Amino acid sequence: MTEQLIFERGQPGRRAHAQAPRQAPAVDDIPDALARDSDIGLPEVSEMDVVRHYTRLSQLNFSIDTHFYPLGSCTMKHNPRACNTLASLPGFLDRHPLAPASHGQGQMCCLYELQEILTEVTGMDKCSLTPMAGAQGEFTGVAMIKAYHDHRGDHHRDEILVPDAAHGTNPATATMCGCRVIELPTDADGDVDIAALREKVSERTAGIMLTNPSTLGVFEQDILEIADIVHGAGGLLYYDGANLNAILGKIRPGDMGFDVIHMNLHKTFSTPHGGGGPGSGALGVGSHLRKFMPIPTIGRRGDGAETRYYWMTEADLPHTIGRLSAFMGNTGVLMRAYIYARLLGRDGMTRVAEYATLNSNYLMARLKDAGFEVAFPDRRASHEFIVTLKREKSQFGVTAADFAKRLLDYGFHAPTIYFPLLVPECFLIEPTETESRETLDAFVEAMVAIREEARADPETLRQAPTSLPARRFDEVAAAKRLDLAYDAGSSAAA
Amino acid sequence: MPFIPHTEADVRDMLAVIGAETIDDLFDEIDPRLRNVSLDAIPEGASEQEITRLMRERAGRDEGGLCFIGAGAYEHHIPAAVWEITTRGEFYSAYTPYQPEASQGTLQVVYEYQTMMCGLTGMDVSNASLYDGASALAEAVLMAVRANRKSKSRRVLLPKSVHPFYRQVARNICANQAIDFEVVDFDAEHGTVDRAALDRWAGEDVTALVIPQPNFFGALEDVDALTDWAHDNGALAIGVVNPMSLALLKAPGRWGGGDGADIVVGEGQPLGAPLAGGGPYFGLLCCRKKHVRQMPGRVVGRALDADGCDGYVLTLQPREQHIRRSKATSNICTNQGLLVTAATIHMSLLGPEGLRRTAATCAANTRALVERLTAIDGVSRVFDGPYFHETVLRLPMAADAALEALAERGVFGGLALADHYDGLNDTVLVCATETKTAGDLDAYAEALAAVLETHAAPA
The string of DSSP codes covering A175-236 is HHTT-EEEEE-B-TTSSB-HHHHHHH--TTEEEEEEESS-TTSS--TTHHHHHHHHHHTT-E
Partners of residue B281 in chain A, C-beta under 8 Å: 326-327
Q: What is the pLDDT of residues A358-367, one digit of tens each?
A: 999 999 999 9
**Residue A230 near residue A161 (C-beta atoms within 8 A):** yes
Q: How confident is the model at residue B322 (pLDDT cuts 50, 70, 90)?
A: confident
Model pLDDT, residue A491 = 37
* pLDDT for residue A412 is more than 80: yes
Burial class (CB in 10 A: 0-12, 13-18, 19+), A11: exposed
- d(CA B187, CA B10) in angstroms, rounded, equals 72
pLDDT digits (tens, 9 = 90+) for B367-379: 999 999 999 999 9
Average pLDDT for B228-241 = 98
- Cβ contact B92–A65 (<8 Å): yes
Residue A373, pLDDT > 90, answer yes
Q: What is the mean pLDDT of residues B339-365?
A: 98
Torsion angle, CA of B381/B387/B390/B392, rounded to 10 degrees?
Answer: -20
What are the phi and psi torsion angles at A121 (to 5°)?
A: -75, -15
Quick one: A103 and A117 in the same domain?
yes
Per-residue pLDDT at B340:
98
A261 shares a domain with A117: yes
DSSP state of A1: -
Q: Is residue A141 part of a domain?
A: yes
Sequence-distant (6+) residues with CB within 8 A of B105 are A57, A58, A59, A60, A61, A275, B90, B91, B94
Contacts of A20 in chain B (CB under 8 A): 350, 353-355, 357-358
Rounded Cα–Cα distance for residues A479 and B318 (Å): 10
Q: What is the pLDDT of residues A269-293, one digit of tens each?
A: 999 999 999 999 999 999 999 999 9
Q: What is the mean pLDDT of chain B?
A: 96
Cβ–Cβ under 8 Å, residues A72 and B284: no
Tell whether B323 lies on the interface with A, counting CB pairs under 8 A. yes
Using the Cβ of B385 and the Cβ atoms of chain A, whether some distance falls under 8 Å is answered with: no
- What distance in Å separates the CA atoms of residue A185 and residue A163, rounded to the nearest whole number? 6
pLDDT in tens, B82-122: 999 999 999 999 999 999 999 999 999 999 999 999 999 99
**In-domain check, residue A122:** yes
Assign A489 a pLDDT band (cuts: 50, 70, 90): low
Residues A148, A282: one domain?
yes
B27 vs A250, A272, A494: nearest CB: A250
- B26, A357: Cβ pair inside 8 Å? yes
A199 is a domain residue? yes
pLDDT at B210 over 70: yes
Whether the pLDDT of residue B277 is over 70: the answer is yes
Is residue A384 located within the same domain as residue A272? no
Query: Which of these, B201, B288, B273, B297, lies nearest to B237 by C-alpha position?
Result: B288
Task: Find chain B residues with C-beta within 8 A of A114's C-beta.
Answer: none
Backbone angles phi, psi at B431, to 5 degrees: -150, 135
pLDDT tens string A171-219 = 999 999 999 999 999 999 999 999 999 999 999 999 999 999 999 999 9
From the list B17, B23, B62, the residue facing A106 with the nearest CB is B62
Last residue of a domain, one of A324, A343, A362: A343
Percent of chain A at pLDDT > 70 equals: 99
CB within 8 Å: A408 and B300:
no
Does residue A239 lie within any of the structural domains?
A: yes
* Distance to chain A for B165, nearest Cα, Å: 6
Within a domain: A45: no
Domain end residue (candidates: A343, A371, A391): A343
Mean pLDDT of B233-239: 98
B83 contacts chain A (CB < 8 A): yes
Q: Which B residues, 186 through 215, put their C-beta within 8 Å of a C-beta on chain A?
A: none
Interchain CB distance below 8 Å, B168 and A175:
no
What is the C-alpha separation between A435 and A70, in angstroms, rounded? 10
Residue from A28, A50, A113, A118 to probe the interface with B (highest B Cβ count within 10 Å): A50
CA end-to-end span of chain B? 61
* DSSP code per residue over A388-441: E-HHHHHHH---HHHHHHHHHHTTB---EES-STTSTTEEEE---TTS-HHHHH
Model confidence band, residue A492 (pLDDT cutoffs 50, 70, 90): very low
Residues A384 and A250 both lie in one domain: no
ipTM of the complex: 0.97
- How far apart CA A170 and CA A130 sit, in angstroms, is 19
Do residue A108 and residue A210 come from a single domain? yes
A341 in B contact zone (CB under 8 Å): yes
Could you give the CA distance from residue A37 to residue A24 in angstroms, rounded to a whole number? 17
CA distance A456 to chain B (A): 22
pLDDT band at B457 (very low <50, low <70, confident <90, very high): confident
Q: Does B224 lie at the interface with A, CB-CB under 8 angstroms?
A: yes
Backbone angles phi, psi at A282, to 5 degrees: -50, 150
Q: Which of B18, B131, B298 is nearest residue A132 as measured by Cβ atoms? A: B131
Among A473, A476, A490, most B C-beta atoms within 10 A, so best to mutate, is A473
Residues of A in contact with B95 (CB under 8 A): 69, 71, 74, 76, 273, 275-276
Is the pLDDT at B160 greater than 60, yes or no?
yes
- B251: three-class secondary structure by DSSP: coil
Which CATH number fits the domain that encloses residue A394? 3.90.1150.10
3-class SS of residue B97: coil
Residue of chain A with shortest Cα separation from B2: A344
Strand segments (E) across A267-342: 283-285, 297-301, 308-312
Q: How close B393 gets to chain A, by Cα (Å)?
A: 17
Instruction: Give which of B303, B430, B324 is closest to B368, Cα–Cα.
Output: B430
CB B237 within 8 A of CB B262: yes
Which residues, other chains included, contact B235 with Cβ-Cβ below 8 Å and sequence gap of 6+? B148, B151, B157, B206, B207, B208, B209
Listing from the earlier edge strand, what are the strands of the sheet with A426-429? Answer: A373-374, A385-388, A426-429, A416-417
CA dist B182 → B208, B217, B230 (Å): 10, 20, 14
Task: List B73's β-bridge partners, or say none.
Answer: none
Domain boundary among A343, A372, A387: A343
Beta-carbon-side half-sphere exposure of residue B36 (alpha carbons within 13 Å): 2
DSSP letter string, A226-245: HHHHHHHTT-EEEEEETTGG
Domain total for chain A?
2
pLDDT at B459: 59
**Is A451 among the domain residues?**
yes
In a domain, A223, yes or no: yes
* Chain A residues within 8 A of B276 when measuring between CB atoms: 92-93, 95, 331-332
CA distance A207 to chain B (A): 16
> CA B211 to CA B221: how far, in whole Å?
8
The CA distances from residue A149 to A158, A171, A226, in Å, are 9, 19, 20
Q: Do B58 and A279 touch (CB under 8 A)?
A: no
**Chain B residues with CB-CB distance to A329 below 8 A:** 278-279
Pair (A312, A403) in one structural domain: no
| A175, A231: one domain | yes
Residues in chain B within 8 Å Cβ distance of A57: 104-105, 108-109
Residues A197 and A327 in one domain: yes
Work out the pLDDT band at B458, boundaries 50, 70, 90.
low
Confidence at B398, pLDDT banded by 50, 70, 90: very high
Confirm or reject contact between A243 and chain B (CB < 8 A).
Answer: no
Q: Is A138 inside any structural domain?
A: yes
pLDDT at A494: 37
Which pTM does this prediction carry?
0.97
Q: Is B95 on the interface with A (CB under 8 A)?
A: yes
- Nearest CB neighbour to B45, from listed A47, A102, A348: A348
* Residues A468, B102: C-beta atoms closer than 8 Å: yes
* Contact residues, B window 151-190, toward A, CB-based 8 Å cutoff: 163, 165-166, 168-169, 171-173, 175-178
Domain range for A204: 82-343
Over range A120-148, report the average pLDDT.
96
Q: Considering only CB atoms, which chain B residues are within 8 Å of A465?
A: 101-102
**A228 and A185 co-located in one domain:** yes
**B155 torsion bin: left (phi>0), alpha (psi -120 to 50), beta (else):** beta
Coil, strand or helix at B304? strand
User: Nearest CB to A277: which of B47, B51, B337?
Assistant: B337
Q: What percent of chain A has pLDDT over 90?
A: 94
B75 vs B330: which has the higher pLDDT:
B75
Smallest Cα distance from A233 to chain B, Å: 23
Q: How many other C-beta atoms can be found within 10 angstroms of the C-beta atom of residue A154?
A: 16
Question: What pLDDT does A1 receive?
Answer: 58
Q: What domains are defined for chain B?
A: 8-57 (no CATH), 66-75+352-456 (3.90.1150.10), 80-344 (3.40.640.10)
**Residue A182: which CATH number?**
3.40.640.10
Mean pLDDT for all residues in chain A: 95
Q: Given this model, what pLDDT does residue B327 score?
A: 81
Question: Are A215 and A314 within one domain?
Answer: yes
Determine the Cα–Cα distance for residues A53 and A28; give it in Å rounded to an integer: 37
More confident residue, B52 or A315: B52
C-alpha B411/C-alpha B407 separation (Å) is 5
Closest-CA residue to A289 (of A389, A148, A404, A111): A148
Q: In terms of DSSP bridges, do strands A205-211 and A236-241 run parallel, antiparallel, or are they unpaired?
A: parallel
Which tens digits make up the pLDDT trace of B112-146? 999 999 999 999 999 999 999 999 999 999 999 99
Percent of chain B with pLDDT strictly greater than 90: 94
Neighboring chain B residues of A483 at a CB cutoff of 8 Å: 301-302
Cα B239 from Cα B233, distance rounded (Å)? 16
Distance CA B244, CA B271 (A): 7
Q: Are residues A299 and A353 in the same domain?
A: no
- Alpha carbon of A203: minimum distance to chain B alpha carbons (Å): 20
